[in-house]
Amino acid sequence: MKLLTANRLSDGEAVWYADGQWVETIAEALIAHDKGSQEALESIGNQALADNLVVDVNLIDIEIVDGSIHPIRLRERIRAAGPTIRNDLGKQARIQQAA
């Protein structure tokens, strides 16, 4: 399983592709379950890069753990949550404040 991720060009925010738009939380991301859907996401990412909407476009490997999306690579887990030494910063802090 894979997701399409990038950084939004306007502000550098880590984003994920979901149903026609770039979203700020990994939980909303569209999951590619097969080669065909992975290729479709890759094409979408390449077009968004060409349109100067995002940079650093990547398909990343994920797994589902207890019903939640869990990136395989540490780099992607940090991009999805925020700094590893400051839980009061980044996306992880936004989630805590909303609860």
pLDDT score of 35 = 98
Considering its fold, how many domains does the chain have in total?
A: 1
Tell me, what's the pLDDT at 86? 65
Rounded to whole angstroms, the maximal C-alpha distance in the chain is: 39
Task: Read off the pLDDT of residues 36-83 as tens digits, 9 standing for 90 and up.
Answer: 999 999 999 999 999 999 999 999 999 999 999 999 999 999 899 876
Provide the percentage of residues in the chain whose pLDDT is more than 90. 77
**Domain region containing 79:** 2-98
CA 85 to each of CA 1, 29, 47, 92: distance values in angstroms, whole numbers, following the listed order: 28, 25, 35, 11
Look at residue 64 in the predicted model and tell me its pLDDT. Answer: 97
Q: What does the pLDDT average to over 81-86?
A: 70
